[in-house]
A and B are shown apart, each in its own frame.
Chain A
Amino acid sequence: MTTPSTTVKATGSSPGTPSGTEIRLDRVTKDFGLAAPAVDDISLTIRPGEFMTFLGPSGSGKTTTLNLIAGFETLTAGTIALNGTDVSDVPPHRRNLGMLFQNYALFPHLTVAQNVAYPLRERKVPKREIARKVAEVLELVQLTGRDDNHPSQLSGGQQQRVALARAIVFEPSALLLDEPLGALDRNLRSALQAEIRRIHREVGSTFVFVTHDQEEAMNLSDRIALFNNGRIEQIGTPQQLYAEPETLFTARFLGDSNVFELGQAALGRSIVWDGESWGVDPATVAAHPGVRAGSAIVVRPEDVEVAARRDEVPPGANAVRAVVRDVEYMGSYRTLLLAMGRRGLPGRTRVSPLRGDYAIGDEIVAWWRPGAQRIVAA
């Protein structure tokens, strides 16, 4: 290390003490020279010790943003600061950030113990200390006794545990996780999710997690930044993003939704969709600068009730007639796939198996309370 002063030091001391690094992105842009910038003027502050997830479809810029934080890509514009220190021009090996990759990226020529010891050896930690820390961290990821195995002798889940151990053993300022569970099967994935959550609690450092899997994001995160076309569409807690989507994209990306596009309809006390007149609860209008006239009404399937006739709908509820297109049996509940209104807009609702039988072709009335709907920008 020629210029140790630029090395970013971890604020935390040892695992167990809650600590973390603030990561601040200020007007960050990355342009690969394609039609549109991969990352387009993003500003974002990740709080110390926070579990932040970058969620979005592929090509939305979430991985590029992570690579910019890691230092694998150079910024086109903007700055990135760790705990207030501008690291925009600091090479990745001096940023002191741990990184987890989708394909594990373990060194195949080294054993488990040597892989985990790698970052400590690079930091010239004394031999005895290395042995102690390696044993400690392998216990933390529940992988003791495999020290002398080579990565190829381990399962995918075990390999990712080794990679996790290697990425946290040197107490990095923050841990960056690039779709680390993408290559694992479903059961293993949920087991490792729990593991990652536990380790986040125990280590207490800042985690930045990239995924395209909304369930994974909901499960793990303190906050989610939802990416779309190189920008952050919305940022907030999982509950906020699910219950209070600000844009149609957010509403559609997280969970299932019934979406009624409103076109030119004006937003007043009531709105009209396909001949139906619906009430509006002012609290359901997203406080987003993009929303003026209502753009779309979003209702979650679990908020949609089913009535056989219109006179069974409680007063004040918003209703629309619908035809049952299909019934999906999900165990604890059933999903009705609907064709709503005159145009047969696809929709869905959840009903309890106790609530009678529905057959394909049944004509019903779907209804919900105005407080359950959300009016968002298109």
Chain B
Amino acid sequence: MTSTPEMTSSPATASGPATGRRRYTKVDPIPWWLKAFGGVVVIFFILPTLFVIPMSFSDAATFEFPPRGFTWRLYENFFTNPIWLDSLGNSFLVATLTAVLATTVGTAAAVALWRMQGRVARFVRTLLMVPIVAPAIVVAVAVYIAFLGWQLTGTVLGYVLAHTAIAVPYVVVSVTGALGGFDLQLLRAASSLGSSPSRAFVRVTMPLISRGILTGAIFAFIVSFDEVVLALFLRSPVFQTLPVQMYNSVTVEIDPTISAASSLMVVAVTIIFLLPQLLRGRARRR
């Protein structure tokens, strides 16, 4: 998760001088050992996926690798069993609401901190990053104790609020990155042309930082969608998210359907991540 800031800032800088990066590699070529190391890291991240996806088509009753036979049975299970379907629906609901709320709050915070500058703004920005670096279990216990008192555990609102708290920093980072190239003079121009500050935000600021906002929203969605620690604490017998159901299926029942669920999750998350790039490619062609 430490690589997150680079990942979020890349869409913002993508419009910048890519040539500069290329020139840099010419001057100072990447050494072979760094390439090898990079390759190992890539394999390390991708390998589990390469196991899970074949296994989701396996005919065996338990986890087995290499998989035996080929069948859609696990996917059938997933899409016919109300427990799996409900938890998928719950996850989508919570993630969508979290994305909306975290993007709104995070964008507002990023824009405000950008306008403020100064030491206070830097301090507040650091403070906003705390949920990323704080151990998930610590946040989860704190949220659980607080929400028990407020009777928010097991409610959609509880999930959304808790997930928003950990998703906001991602939005702040990506929107702040997008604001980096924003010319403040444009807001003066807008106001001289008759825009109130809120109109100027809608007509000038927002279109120009939309990529950062979209990236932030996607991160917020995914942070919530695959979040498991908070969700474990907040779950109720009638409301649980997909990661929690997956956790149950392994620890309680050893249900191989999880490999289908995992595969679906990997594919879904990958598609969502690639979405902005696909959109950008289309926009360029137009």
Which residues on A are within 8 Å of B, measured CB to CB?
70-72, 91-94, 96-99, 101, 103, 105-109, 118-119, 122-123, 166-167, 170, 176
Interface centre among A105, A118, A166 (most CB of B within 10 A): A105
Given contacts A103-B183, A108-B208, contact A119 B193 (CB under 8 A): yes
Q: How far is the CA of A72 from the CA of B188 in the complex (A)?
A: 7
B203 to A: closest C-beta gap in Å: 8
5 residue pairs of the A-B complex, CB under 8 angstroms, read A71-B191, A92-B188, A93-B194, A118-B193, A122-B195
Q: How far is the CA of A101 from the CA of B192 in the complex (A)?
A: 11
Chain A residues with Cβ below 8 Å from B13 are none
Q: B193 touching A170 by the CB < 8 A rule?
A: yes
Q: Does B157 contact A (CB under 8 A)?
A: no
Given contacts A91-B191, A92-B191, A93-B191, contact A105 B196 (CB under 8 A): no
Q: Is the interface of B mostly helix, strand, loop or mixed?
A: helix
Chain A residues with Cβ below 8 Å from B207 are 109
Q: A105 touching B186 by the CB < 8 A rule?
A: yes
Q: B192 touching A70 by the CB < 8 A rule?
A: yes
Given contacts A103-B183, A107-B204, A109-B207, contact A122 B188 (CB under 8 A): no
Partner of B208 from the list A96, A109, A122, A167 (CB cut-off 8 Å) is A109
Q: B189 touching A105 by the CB < 8 A rule?
A: yes
Q: Kindly identify, within residues 248 to 279 of chain B, every residue whose CB is under 8 Å from any CB belonging to chain A.
A: none
Q: How far is the CA of A288 from the CA of B279 in the complex (A)?
A: 69
Q: Does B199 contact A (CB under 8 A)?
A: yes
Chain B residues with Cβ below 8 Å from A96 are 194
A-B contacts besides A93-B195, A109-B208, 11 pairs, CB < 8 Å: A92-B192, A93-B191, A93-B194, A93-B200, A101-B185, A101-B188, A118-B190, A122-B194, A166-B193, A167-B193, A170-B193
B212 to A: closest C-beta gap in Å: 14
**Complex: chain B residue closest to A2, CB-CB:** B196
Q: A103 touching B192 by the CB < 8 A rule?
A: no
Q: Kindly identify, within residues 86 to 107 of chain B, every residue whose CB is under 8 Å from any CB belonging to chain A.
A: none
Chain B residues with Cβ below 8 Å from A123 are 194
Chain A residues with Cβ below 8 Å from B188 are 70, 72, 92, 99, 101, 105
0 or 1 for each of B189-220: is its CB under 8 Å from A? (1 = yes): 11111111101100110011000000000000
0 or 1 for each of B207-251: is its CB under 8 Å from A? (1 = yes): 110000000000000000000000000000000000000000000
Kindly list the 3 A-B residue pairs having the minimum CB-CB distance in the complex, ordered from nearest. A99-B192, A105-B189, A119-B193
B16 to A: closest C-beta gap in Å: 13
B199 to A: closest C-beta gap in Å: 7
Q: A119 touching B194 by the CB < 8 A rule?
A: yes
Chain A residues with Cβ below 8 Å from B204 are 107
Given contacts A96-B194, A105-B183, A109-B207, contact A122 B189 (CB under 8 A): no
B133 to A: closest C-beta gap in Å: 35
Q: How far is the CA of A290 from the CA of B193 in the complex (A)?
A: 43
Chain A residues with Cβ below 8 Å from B196 are 91, 93
A172 to B: closest C-beta gap in Å: 8
Q: Kindly identify, within residues 172 to 188 of chain B, every residue whose CB is under 8 Å from any CB belonging to chain A.
A: 183, 185-186, 188
Q: How far is the CA of A114 from the CA of B192 in the complex (A)?
A: 16
Q: How far is the CA of A105 from the CA of B197 in the complex (A)?
A: 16
Q: A167 touching B185 by the CB < 8 A rule?
A: no
Chain A residues with Cβ below 8 Å from B200 are 93
Partner of B192 from the list A98, A107, A108, A109 (CB cut-off 8 Å) is A98
Interface centre among A72, A93, A99 (most CB of B within 10 A): A93
Q: How far is the CA of A72 from the CA of B195 in the complex (A)?
A: 13
Q: Kindly identify, within residues 134 to 163 of chain B, every residue whose CB is under 8 Å from any CB belonging to chain A.
A: none
Q: A97 touching B183 by the CB < 8 A rule?
A: no
Interface centre among A91, A108, A123 (most CB of B within 10 A): A108
Q: How far is the CA of A91 from the CA of B188 in the complex (A)?
A: 11
B115 to A: closest C-beta gap in Å: 14
Chain B residues with Cβ below 8 Å from A107 are 186, 189-190, 204, 208
Q: A122 touching B193 by the CB < 8 A rule?
A: yes
Q: How far is the CA of A351 from the CA of B204 in the complex (A)?
A: 56
Chain A residues with Cβ below 8 Å from B183 are 103, 105
Chain B residues with Cβ below 8 Å from A122 are 193-195, 199
Q: B189 touching A99 by the CB < 8 A rule?
A: yes
Chain B residues with Cβ below 8 Å from A108 are 208
Q: B194 touching A105 by the CB < 8 A rule?
A: no
Chain B residues with Cβ below 8 Å from A99 are 188-189, 192
